[in-house]
């Protein structure tokens, strides 16, 4: 491991523990704030959201709203290193649990989506810094996805305020920052 990878691993562990320790009351408060503040901030068109799992901030109420508006896209791990994006038509039918944790689109039932059709991306993470750099689960899925989007596509980290790093995160040339992070 390089020294940057080593410190990333330690930060990931620390902030994952911090995220897991967030109490139910705070989770409910953050969930309410998301539904008040986030919808007006989203551009028109398809939104690549994420299927919150485990201790992640809960995007399910927002995902349900986006599906009613026929503009919900969700990611599926397609290989060791890549994510494929699909349009979701029905939450109850189109998703199945994945080996890594989150619910994922069933690829035989959902229509794949090209990068040009994505109008906005909501990005999960374990910790974010002031420049929009992030650490996820360490597989580089989002770095690759973000690097392949048209430059103009807005990308928003969505996180609890407990996930904000007071100091810059270690970076490599492959890390791609989000445009801004919305903390709740």
Ligand X SMILES: Nc1nc2c(c(=O)[nH]1)N(C=O)[C@@H](CNc1ccc(C(=O)N[C@@H](CCC(=O)O)C(=O)O)cc1)CN2
Ligand Y SMILES: Nc1ncnc2c1ncn2[C@@H]1O[C@H](COP(=O)(O)OP(=O)(O)OP(=O)(O)O)[C@@H](O)[C@H]1O
Give the footprint of ligand X on this chain (CB under 6 A).
50-56, 75, 77, 83, 100-102, 124, 136-137, 139, 141-142
Rounded to the nearest 5°, which phi and psi values hold at 8? -60, -40
Residue from 64, 70, 147, 168 binding ligand Y (CB under 6 A)? 147
Cα 130 vs. chain centroid, distance in angstroms? 17
Residue 163, helix vs strand vs coil: helix
Q: Which is nearer to ligand X, 45 or 97 (CB)?
A: 97
- Site membership for ligand Y, residue 143 (CB under 6 A): yes
The interface partner of residue 175, options being ligand X, ligand Y, none and the CB cut-off 5 to 8 Å by kind, is ligand Y
The residue of the chain with the least Cβ separation from ligand Y equals: 136
Shortest distance, CB of residue 142 to ligand Y, whole angstroms? Answer: 3
Shortest distance, CB of residue 49 to ligand X, whole angstroms? Answer: 9
Shortest distance, CB of residue 124 to ligand Y, whole angstroms? Answer: 7
Shortest distance, CB of residue 126 to ligand X, whole angstroms? Answer: 8
Helix axes 24-41, 60-68, angle to 10 degrees: 30
How many angstroms separate the CA atoms of 72 and 66, rounded? 5
Please give the structure tokens belonging to residue 112: 């794949």
* Alpha-helical segments (H) within the chain: 3-20, 24-41, 60-68, 91-94, 141-147
How many angstroms separate the CA atoms of 61 and 149, rounded? 26
Q: Which is nearer to ligand X, 125 or 170 (CB)?
A: 125
Q: Which is nearer to ligand X, 124 or 132 (CB)?
A: 124
- Comparing CA positions, the residue from 84, 178, 95 lying closest to residue 132 is 178
State the SS3 of 96-129. EECCCCCEEECCCCCEECCHHHCCEEEECCCEEC
Shortest distance, CB of residue 49 to ligand Y, whole angstroms? Answer: 15
The interface partner of residue 83, options being ligand X, ligand Y, none and the CB cut-off 5 to 8 Å by kind, is ligand X
The interface partner of residue 143, options being ligand Y, ligand X, none and the CB cut-off 5 to 8 Å by kind, is ligand Y
Q: Which is nearer to ligand X, 40 or 54 (CB)?
A: 54
């Amino acid at each position: 491991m390089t020294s940057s990878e080593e410190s990333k691993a330690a930060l990931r562990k620390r902030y994952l523990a911090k995220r897991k320790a967030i109490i139910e009351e705070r989770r409910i408060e953050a969930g309410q704030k998301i539904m008040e503040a986030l919808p007006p901030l989203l551009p028109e068109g398809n939104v690549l959201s994420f299927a919150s799992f485990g201790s992640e901030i809960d995007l399910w109420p927002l995902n349900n709203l986006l599906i009613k508006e026929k503009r919900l896209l969700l990611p599926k791990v397609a290989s060791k290193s890549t994510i494929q994006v699909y349009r979701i038509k029905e939450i109850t039918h189109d998703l199945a649990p994945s080996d890594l944790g989150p619910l994922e689109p069933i690829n035989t039932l959902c229509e794949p989506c090209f990068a040009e059709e994505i109008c906005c991306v909501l990005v999960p993470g374990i910790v974010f810094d002031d420049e929009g750099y992030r650490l996820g689960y360490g597989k580089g899925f989002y770095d690759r996805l973000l690097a392949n989007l048209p430059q103009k596509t807005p990308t928003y980290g969505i996180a609890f305020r407990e996930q904000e790093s007071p100091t810059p995160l270690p970076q490599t040339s492959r890390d791609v920052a989000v445009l801004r992070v919305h903390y709740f």
